[in-house]
Homo-oligomer: A and B are copies of this chain.
Amino acid sequence: MSKRQRHAQILAVIRENRVASQETLRELLHQRGTEVTQATLSRDIRELRLVKVPDADGTGHYSLPEE
């Protein structure tokens, strides 16, 4: 699986779920058959420019910056 494919998967996952941590993201990707470590997700998130938006209750979630 290529990095570009993984990036696409990540975008799909954060659109469909409230992802509160990179560890959660890792689990969701695993369910879709993609195994990566947190270090890689940290890099992917930077490359995709994803931001973690703080929620009222403290539980932030990853999101695309609406530009």
A residues within 8 Å of B by Cβ?
Answer: 45-46, 49-54, 58, 60, 65-67
Contacts and interface: CB of A to CB of B under 8 A. Distances in A.
Contact of A53 (B49, B54, B58, B60): B49
A38 B67 CA distance: 28
Number of copies: 2
A51 B49 contact: no
Nearest to A42: B54
B66 A53 contact: no
Given A51-B51, A51-B53, A53-B51, A46 B58 contact: yes
B66 A67 contact: yes
Given A49-B53, A51-B53, A66-B66, 13 more contacts: A45-B54, A46-B54, A46-B58, A46-B60, A49-B54, A51-B52, A51-B54, A51-B65, A52-B52, A53-B65, A65-B65, A65-B66, A66-B67
